[in-house]
Amino acid sequence: MLICITLVIEMLVATSVHWSNGWLFAASGGGWEFPALLIVCTIVLALQVKNKLSRKVLKK
């Protein structure tokens, strides 16, 4: 969970740095689309860790 929080903070900084370059990450200087996607994916993974099924899979 701590790693997910750290990654979200890091991607928030990356998103703020790339904000002025526009939406698309393929734009010159890179946009904020990909860092925003990584924030969403990290939050989803953090929520899945709380799931009991995920704990059973990790114990195997």
Q: How many helices (H) and strands (E) does the chain have?
A: 3, 0
Domain locations in the chain? Answer: 2-59
Q: How confident is the model at residue 15 (pLDDT cuts 50, 70, 90)?
A: very high
Residue 39 banded pLDDT, cuts 50, 70, 90? very high
Q: Burial, 1: exposed, middle or buried (Cβ in 10 Å; 0-12, 13-18, 19+)? A: exposed
- CB distance 11 to 39 below 8 Å: yes
pLDDT for 7 equals: 92
Are the beta carbons of 39 and 18 closer than 8 angstroms? Answer: no
Residue-wise pLDDT for 20-38, tens only, equals 988 887 878 888 899 999 9
Rounded to an integer, the average pLDDT of 36-41 is 94
